[in-house]
Structure 1
Amino acid sequence: MKTALQTAAAIRAGETTALAECEAAIARIEAGDAEINAVVVRDFDRAREAARAIDAGPKDSRPLLGVPMTVKESFDVAGLVTCWGFAEHADFIATEDAVQVTRLKRAGAVILGKTNIPVALADLQTNNPVYGRTRNPHDPSRVSGGSSGGAAAALAAGFVPVEIGSDIGGSIRLPAAFCGVWGHKPTYNALSSFGHNFPRTQSCGVALNVVGPLARDPDDLETLFGVMGGDALVRPAPRGPGDWKILLLPQHPLARSQAAIQGAITTLGAAFAAAGAQVDDSSALLPDLVAQHGAYIHMLLVAMARGAPLEGGTPLALPDWFTLIDAQAKCRRDWARLFASYDAVIAPIWGTTAYRHDDTPLATRMIDIDGTQTPMALQMAYPGLATFPMLPATSVPIGTDPDGLPIGVQVIADYNRDFTAIAIARTAHDLMRS
C-alpha cells in the first residue's frame, strides 16, 4: 500500500485518481475488517462524492490530496455518530466537524468513516456495547490497545495510511506500539481539540488530554502532525545519528517491563552509541518518577471523572487541585533541567507487548510479565512519563518479541520539541533496521 504522501503525489501527477484510491481503501476494509472490527462507522458514499470532487478540481499542492483515511470515533464528523462507546449515546449525530476533521479535509483528505474505541475512551483495550471488540491484526487473540485501538488496527491491517487519535494515558502511543505503527502524543495544547468532546456536550478539553496523528510511515506522521497544527512549532536542525544525546529508561522503578522490551531498548542504545551518539542508562537529573506517578494518577482520575468523586469518596477540594497543578509545574521544571543535557529519553510505552483480551476491570486486572503476574494499573507509570509533564512523545516500532508481536517504544523530548521526538524516533527505527 502506498503511503499518504505517495498517494497524494500519484494523484497530483495523474497516475491515479482520488476515486480509485478511495475505492481501493473501501475494498480493503470490506475484505479484511470482519475479523478485526476496526472501522465501525462507515461513510463510503460521501467519501466517494468527496473523491469525485477532488478529481474534478485542480491537482494542487495540498499534502493529503485525495488520501483516504479514517478518524477515531470520538472526533465529531458532521452527519455521523459520535457516541464514545456509550449505548445511551448511540443515536447522537454530530452536526459539525471537529477542528481536526476540518483541517484534514482542507488538506485534501477523504474521510471514509470512524474507528472503534473503548467506552468513554477509558481502557487500554478496545471493546464497547455499541460496536463490539477490535482485535489486533497481528494476532486476533490480542488487544489492539486503547483508546485509539481501532485507529491503530486500521493502520496495521493496511486499510488506510494515516489516522488521528487522542491520548491522556497512552491512548495514541500504546495502540501504535501494540499494532506496530507510528503515533505521536503532542505537547499539551499544541493542537486544538475542539470537536473532540463527550457526546451531547460542548465540554472543554480534559486536563492532560491531547489529540494527535498515527501513521504507517514516519514521513506521513510528520506531515499529518503539521496539518493538525504542529507546523507552528520549531523544527530541529538536521542531525546525523551520532549527533543526539540519549537517556535510556528500560524499566520504571514502579512497573516491570518484559525482558524483550528491555533488550530492544538496550540494543537500540548500542546502535546509537555505535553511530557516535551520547547514550546514558542512568542520570541523577531524572525527576522523582515515583512521586510523579502518584500525582499523575491522582490528576488522571480527577480529569477522567470531571471531578466526580469515586464511589463512597468525596470530591477533590479546590486547594487540593491547585496542589496537583503545583506538583505538575515542578515536574515540568525537573524535566526541563534534564533536557538541558539530553535530547530525548527512550522508554517503554507499556511493560508488555499486546496482551490477550481481558475484560476484568482495569483496577483489578493483572498482566503476565515474563511469568510473573503483576497489577496492570501499575503499567500506567509508562505513559505517565510524558503525559504528566505535558511533554511530546513519539511511539516508534523497533522490533518484535519472541511471539512475533511488535515492540514499540516512546521517544520523549522537551516541551514543544515535538519534531525532535519524531526525528529521533525516525533515527531509532532506521538504526534498528540497518
Structure 2
Amino acid sequence: MSRVVGDTGAARGSRVAVEELPAGFEITAALRRGDLSAVEVVTERISRIDSLDPLLGALTDRDLDSAVRAAERLDRDRARGVPQSPLAGWPVTVKDSFDVAGFRTTVGRASDARMPEHDAPVVRRLRDSGAIILGKTNVPVMLDDYQSSNADFGVTRNPWDPSRSPGGSSGGAAVAVSSGMSVADLGSDLYGSIRMPAAWCGIYGHRPTNGLISKLGHMPGRPDARLEPSLSTVGPMADHPRDLLLLFQALVGLETPVPAGRSLVLPAARHRSLRGIRIGLWIEEPSAPIDEETGAAFAALAGALRDAGCVVTELRGTPLSSAATLELLDVLKDIELAHNLEPAAGRGRLDVAAVWAAWEQQQRLSERWTGLFDTLDFVVAPATFGAAPPLSEQPEDERWVEFHGTRTRAMDFHAAWSKLTNVPRAPATVVPIGLGRESRLPIGAQIMGPYLADLSTLQLAVLLEEEGVVGARQLTRQW
C-alpha cells in the first residue's frame, strides 16, 4: 500500500506515491518477532522527515539524535529481556502547544515561548508507554485558525494537495501522521482542532469525553495551572484505528489533585461485530451545511454500513440541532479562555450568573443528547463541511465563505459540525470515509456516543476499518 502525497514540483493537484510505513501496532509485533529494531523504525521516520518536511512544513522543532539514542536503549533493554511498554518503539511527534522537556513550547509564536522543565502529564504518559518523541508540530498563532501557519514557523501544507489547508489547530500533527513522518501525535480540541485536521488529512482522531485525558501543561494555559478545562480536550491522532485505541488507553487517567476515593472505570466496548449495530446518520443540519461531494460520500457510507449489517436511521435533527447551540459554545469558549486570557473581543466580561446559566444549559443539552442512545448505539455525522479548502494568506478574521446565498465567517463555517458536537462533552472519533468525487481529497466522519463511551466509538472505528468500510483502504480504492 502507498500513501498519496502532493508534489508542488509538478502540476497543481498532482500527487506522488509514498511507500506506506508500518502502523504502531505492526511495529510492536515486528519488534517482538525480531523482524525490526527500534533504531530501524526510528531511522525510517527520520528519512521520511528529511524528504517530506521541507515540502509540508509540519515540524517546528526536532531532536532526532536523542530519538535514535532512545531507540538504542530500547533495543538493548529488549535484548536483555526487559519487559516492554505498550507503545515501545513508536516514533511520535507532539503538537507544539504541549510541554515537552527539552523542547520549547509555543502557540505559533516564538516571542512567548517557554522552556518547560517537565513534560505535560499527557506527554509523560506517552513516554512512560515507550513512545519515542521525534519533535514538535506546527500550530496557528494562539491555536486560533483552521490553517496551521504563522510568521515564525512557516506554512504547514496538506499532504494530499500542498495548496490546501491541513486544518487547525492540530494541523502540523495531522500532516506528520498522514505523511508518515510519525506514527502518532497529540492534538487538542476546542472548536474541532483534532477532528478537522484528521478529516482533511485522511487520518483518525479522537476527541475524548472531557476530563479523561489531562490538558495540564498546555499553552496558552498557565504553567502552574491545576484546573482542567471545562470544554476543550486532549486526544490522540493516528493513521490506524487500532493505534488510536492503544494510544487512548495509554493516555487516559486522572491527575492530581484527585479527591480521595475517586476512581476512573470506563464502560467496556459493547460490540464485537457490525451486525445489528444501530447507527443514526445525522447529515441534514441547517446550522452546519455540507457540500455535495460530502453528501455523496455519506450516501455511499450509509450503503456500506447497511451492507455490513448495521441498522441505519437517518436523523432529521438531534437535541443539538439549533443555532443557539453554536451560540452557547461561543459562550462556553469564553468561559474557559477567561482562566488564561481576556474574554474574546467584543463579548465583554461574563458575570458569575451568566457562567452558571451557560453550564446549566450545557448540562441540559448533554442529558438530552444522552437520551438519544436509548434507541441508538452511535450517531455518525460529518466532521466538517467538506474537503480541505485552499490555503489563504488573508488573516483569519478577514476570511468569509458564501454558501447557498449565506455569507459566514470562514472559521465558523468550517468548524460548525465540531462546535455543535462539542457541547455534550462526549466522545467523537473521526474516520476517513472516502475521497470527494471532484476534489479527490479525504472526507471525514465523526462517530459519536454518550458520555464515557470512548471505548465503544474507538472500537467501532476498528470494526469499520477491518470490514473496509472506512480507512486507508477506502481512500486507496477510491483513488
Deviates more, 1:424-433 or 1:289-298: 424-433
Q: Alignment length, in residue pairs?
A: 433
Structure 1 Cα separation of the partners of residues 123 and 215 of structure 2 = 10
Q: Alpha carbons of 1:212 and 1:25: their partners in 2 closer, same or farther (altered >3 Å)?
A: same
Q: What's the offset of the Cα at 1:238? A: 3.3
SS at match of 2:185: strand
Structure 1 Cα separation of the partners of residues 307 and 54 of structure 2 = 45
Question: Is 1:399 aligned to 2:434, yes or no?
Answer: yes
Aligned partner (choices 238, 245, 268) of residue 215 of structure 1:
238
Q: Alpha carbons of 1:371 and 1:2: their partners in 2 closer, same or farther (altered >3 Å)?
A: farther
Structure 2 Cα separation of the partners of residues 332 and 53 of structure 1 = 47
Q: Alpha carbons of 1:274 and 1:129: their partners in 2 closer, same or farther (altered >3 Å)?
A: same
Question: Is 1:360 aligned to 2:380, yes or no?
Answer: no
Aligned partner (choices 102, 107, 112) of residue 89 of structure 1:
112
| Equivalent in the alignment of 2:307 | 274
Question: Is 1:234 aligned to 2:290, yes or no?
Answer: no
> Do 2:283 and 2:315's aligned partners in 1 also have CA atoms closer than 8 Å?
no
Question: Is 1:132 aligned to 2:154, yes or no?
Answer: yes
SS at match of 1:404: coil
| Equivalent in the alignment of 2:16 | none
Deviates more, 1:120-129 or 1:409-418: 120-129
Q: Which runs of 5+ in 1 are unaligned?
A: none
Structure 1 Cα separation of the partners of residues 271 and 116 of structure 2 = 42
Deviates more, 1:361-370 or 1:50-59: 361-370
Structure 2 Cα separation of the partners of residues 301 and 200 of structure 1 = 16
Q: Which runs of 5+ in 2 are unaligned?
A: 1-20, 254-263
SS at match of 2:370: helix
Question: Is 1:4 aligned to 2:27, yes or no?
Answer: no
Aligned alpha-carbon RMSD (Å): 2.2
Deviates more, 1:332-341 or 1:373-382: 373-382
| Equivalent in the alignment of 1:142 | 164
| Equivalent in the alignment of 2:194 | 172
Amino acid at match of 2:101: A
Structure 2 Cα separation of the partners of residues 2 and 379 of structure 1 = 32
Aligned partner (choices 278, 281, 294) of residue 261 of structure 1:
294
> Do 1:257 and 1:350's aligned partners in 2 also have CA atoms closer than 8 Å?
yes
Q: TM-score, normalised by structure 2?
A: 0.85
| Equivalent in the alignment of 1:343 | 377
Deviates more, 1:182-191 or 1:254-263: 254-263
Aligned partner (choices 324, 332, 341) of residue 299 of structure 1:
332
Q: What's the offset of the Cα at 1:164? A: 1.2
Structure-to-structure mapping, 1:67-216, within 5 angstroms: 67-90=90-113, 92-198=114-220, 201-203=223-225, 204-216=227-239
Structure 1 Cα separation of the partners of residues 441 and 142 of structure 2 = 27
Q: What's the offset of the Cα at 1:24? A: 1.5
> Do 1:271 and 1:431's aligned partners in 2 also have CA atoms closer than 8 Å?
yes
SS at match of 2:374: coil
Q: What's the offset of the Cα at 1:217? A: 0.6
> Do 1:351 and 1:369's aligned partners in 2 also have CA atoms closer than 8 Å?
no
Amino acid at match of 1:282: L
Structure 1 Cα separation of the partners of residues 317 and 232 of structure 2 = 29
Structure 1 Cα separation of the partners of residues 48 and 161 of structure 2 = 18
Q: What's the offset of the Cα at 1:379? A: 3.6
SS at match of 1:243: coil
> Do 1:386 and 1:392's aligned partners in 2 also have CA atoms closer than 8 Å?
no
> Do 2:84 and 2:130's aligned partners in 1 also have CA atoms closer than 8 Å?
no
Q: Alpha carbons of 1:94 and 1:281: their partners in 2 closer, same or farther (altered >3 Å)?
A: same
Amino acid at match of 1:431: V
Q: What's the offset of the Cα at 1:206? A: 3.0
SS at match of 1:146: coil
Deviates more, 1:264-273 or 1:211-220: 264-273
Structure 1 Cα separation of the partners of residues 246 and 180 of structure 2 = 19
Structure 2 Cα separation of the partners of residues 327 and 25 of structure 1 = 46
Q: What's the offset of the Cα at 1:41? A: 0.8
Q: What's the offset of the Cα at 1:73? A: 0.8
Structure 1 Cα separation of the partners of residues 430 and 365 of structure 2 = 22
